[in-house]
Amino acid sequence: MSHNFSIIGKNIPRQDGKAKVMGAAQFADDLKLPGMLYGKILRSPVPHARIKNIDTSKAEKLLGVKLVITGEDTPKINFGNWRLVPESMDEYPLAIDKVRFIGDEVAAVAAIDKDIAEEAISLIEVEYEELPAIYSVDDARAEGAIKIHDNVENNTSLSRTIHYGDVDKAFAEADLVLEDTFEVHAVSHAYMEPCSCLAKTDLDGRITIWTSTQTPYYVQVLLAQTLGMRENDIRVIKPFVGGGFGGKMELRKWEFCAAFMSKLTGKPVKFTLTRDEELMAGRRRHAMKMHSKIAFRKDGTILGKEFTSFLDGGAYNSMGPTAAFLCGNFGGFLYRFPSYKYNGFHVYTNKPPAGAMRGFGAPQALFVTETQMNMAAEQLGIDPIDLRLKNAMEAGDEIPGVTKIHSCGFKECLEKVREATEWDKKRKQYSEEKSNKGIGIGCYSFISGGAFNWFNTQYPFTAVEVRVFDDGTAHLLTMASDIGQGCDTVLRQILAEELGIKVEDIRLTAADTAVTPQADLGTWGSRVTFMAGNAIINACSKIKEQLFKVLSLKLNANVIHDMECKNGRVYLKNRPDKGVEFKEAVRLAQKYNRGEPLVAYGSYTPRGHGLVTPAYSFGAQVAEVTIDKETGIVKVDKVITAHDCGTPINPIAVEGQLEGSIQMGLGYATSEQFVMKDGKTLNTTFLDYKVPTALDMPENEHYTVEVYDPYGPYGAKEAGEGLVSPTAPAIADAISCAANVRFKDLPITAEKVLKALKKL
């Protein structure tokens, strides 16, 4: 397929780059308002306890303290993102009666400065009656275990099942059955900007909150809910945001506290978390314990799979329901599984709640799938890439009633990495040598946004307003939220391409719930480019219809002519000389409408795409490693990726996502972990919590295969999350190739490697 794009597919510099590089970008904590108070949260020091009494009197008496609140002072309204299932909303803005993990929010202080706020926190006296604490999914589900939430049996707050085909038959007919247990750990989003928000209450009672969020709309709705206010009396503005990765897509308790305390004090109130708080109590990727049983014919054909996953949700549900579903979805994806049975269980423990995190169920499920594929290849004597090619999904594949694949470049990706890495030669060589070098493979697929309305929004999933002017400029208004991933640039590109103008011609107003059109579900599930992009195309079709009408009139054009907007002009497609400048066309349309400005609303809701997503990305990644057999340190030398993200709207932005994904995948696979003792996290600084740095990064080589998705904007699909999944299984496979040790748990630390090599 050949496309003659002007701006799509070009390396457009990030529109926010200058502001960030020059220090002009204002993040939430940079904002200051006159009379502003500083908030601080008192967190539980115990993992599980009843609150017997809270005495705030000493804190209140401290000079400079303006307000101290506890759960009892709040309207005590529960909340959660899964509004479609109200009983899943298991959190309160501040603890009521019980605390459930070390870090649980108990009280909040607003004071005239940060030090006073901290001092005040230390003066609040809480009497706890400690309860037995639970730290593992097995303990949580054990008979007689204490209930972390009163009404939840087995501490299992929800289960998800996916089932199709005859699994029993598959295992009965199989030539090879693998059955393994995998354990993956929790990791932090480690976004550069700790959470921060600033709320102010206007004299008319309306609240404005600037907050580091991926989802202004959710914050608006849930803040209104917990405050007992009307949605539209709350205004949420997203300033610059320094990363989210899924960790900033819920109402956070400090957002409630800032808003509520600004309402009570009449002063603006700001909360900014420390890194210590983030690592001690912040959301994280779900640790999971997974059992997987998979059946093959000896020619490599997959016959079926039975997959069970226990999600360690920590103290609250958070985004656990979605993680449980997506884990199951991706456990049965990527390859054709004629039969599949998934059971996912979301289990409470007395640990910090896990939530959404880049990949969202897929990294866990795909570590299992990809590791078992590599194990099966070994046992069947089939090359891992050949085994994948035999089973790989293709466009047109369908899980009836659930999902359908409209575009798929998976096989091309597999062929591409095979060729680019000299796979056949190296795999053979390293496997035979069993020296210190290995090469391994991992693959992935991911969603381009979710098609299931778990938030129960009453609005389209995304909406934009496009205004065009006779000076050749356009204004794009959207609630879509750039949190560092670059959608402010990509959405401009799509608008510019649609209208045939330049990226610089576009003013963007984004992520302000009182100004931008209702609504947008936010930045998660790699949905923004796909959905907001389609909404822009929808709006532009209305704009262009008007431009084409006046051009038809002006040129007295034959009705058979197609027209297009390109290179700053509007013209007959087959007679490019016949046309007018874009701004002149706008002027004419405005004149035709006797002065009315040319404005269009566009929206997108993924109807007709089943329950999962309208489009899937695919890809394959090969890692080459060197193991230092004396220290156990695995050095990842090179990562080679071929991926199908549909049309890359902005290739350098895609590259950025890939590099960031490799960095995160590397940390997940080898270095990051929460070291905990009795529910307490011991490594709450970046000195101790080991995120890979630029110096740790492997050489990176990548290829985008040419795929055009029929439903994506300009054929685009996701590129933001899927790529985080293949790195861990690829590294694990490369280690196996090099050293004949197969890891089924993460992270693969030097210590574990040494132990496996029996050197420790």
List residues binding a copy of itself (CB under 8 A): 15, 18-19, 22, 24, 203-204, 206, 224, 230-233, 457-460, 463, 467, 469-473, 475, 504, 507, 509, 514-515, 517-519, 587, 590-591, 594-597, 599, 601, 603, 605
- By beta-carbon proximity to a copy of itself, the closer residue of 576 and 597 is 597
Query: Are the beta carbons of 160 and 358 closer than 8 angstroms?
Result: no
CA atoms within 13 A on the CB side of 126: 27
Q: Environment class of residue 453 by beta-carbon count within 10 Å: exposed (0-12), middle (13-18) or buried (19+)?
A: middle
Report, in Å, the least distance between residue 515 CB and a copy of itself. 6
Residue with tokens 């090099």: 738
**In 297-393, beta strands by DSSP E:** 302-314, 340-348
Q: How far apart are CA 532 and CA 192, in angstroms?
A: 25
The conformation of residue 334, written as its DSSP 8-state character, comes to: S
Spatial CB neighbours of 4, under 8 Å, sequence gap ≥ 6: none
Residue-level length of the chain:
760
- By beta-carbon proximity to a copy of itself, the closer residue of 39 and 517 is 517
Tokens standing for residue 60: 């209140």
**Secondary structure element (H or E) that encloses residue 426, with its range:** helix 423-433
- By beta-carbon proximity to a copy of itself, the closer residue of 344 and 517 is 517
Report, in Å, the least distance between residue 535 CB and a copy of itself. 11
Q: How far apart are CA 665 and CA 732, in angstroms?
A: 12
- By beta-carbon proximity to a copy of itself, the closer residue of 22 and 694 is 22
Tokens standing for residue 710: 């029929």
Report, in Å, the least distance between residue 231 CB and a copy of itself. 5
Report, in Å, the least distance between residue 126 CB and a copy of itself. 36
- By beta-carbon proximity to a copy of itself, the closer residue of 44 and 489 is 489
- By beta-carbon proximity to a copy of itself, the closer residue of 283 and 609 is 609
Spatial CB neighbours of 312, under 8 Å, sequence gap ≥ 6: 136, 137, 186, 286, 287, 288, 289, 347, 349, 351, 354
Query: Are the beta carbons of 463 and 519 closer than 8 angstroms?
Result: yes
Query: Are the beta carbons of 162 and 145 closer than 8 angstroms?
Result: no
Report, in Å, the least distance between residue 19 CB and a copy of itself. 5
Report, in Å, the least distance between residue 73 CB and a copy of itself. 24
- By beta-carbon proximity to a copy of itself, the closer residue of 517 and 667 is 517
- By beta-carbon proximity to a copy of itself, the closer residue of 340 and 604 is 604
Report, in Å, the least distance between residue 473 CB and a copy of itself. 4
Report, in Å, the least distance between residue 612 CB and a copy of itself. 20
Q: What sign does the CA torsion over 72, 76, 80, 86 have?
A: positive
- By beta-carbon proximity to a copy of itself, the closer residue of 224 and 413 is 224
Query: Are the beta carbons of 617 and 644 closer than 8 angstroms?
Result: yes
Report, in Å, the least distance between residue 552 CB and a copy of itself. 22
Tokens standing for residue 685: 């600084």
| Listed residue (483, 280, 245) closest to 356, CA to CA | 245
Q: Are strands 340-348 and 302-314 parallel, antiparallel or unpaired?
A: parallel
- By beta-carbon proximity to a copy of itself, the closer residue of 581 and 696 is 581
Report, in Å, the least distance between residue 203 CB and a copy of itself. 4
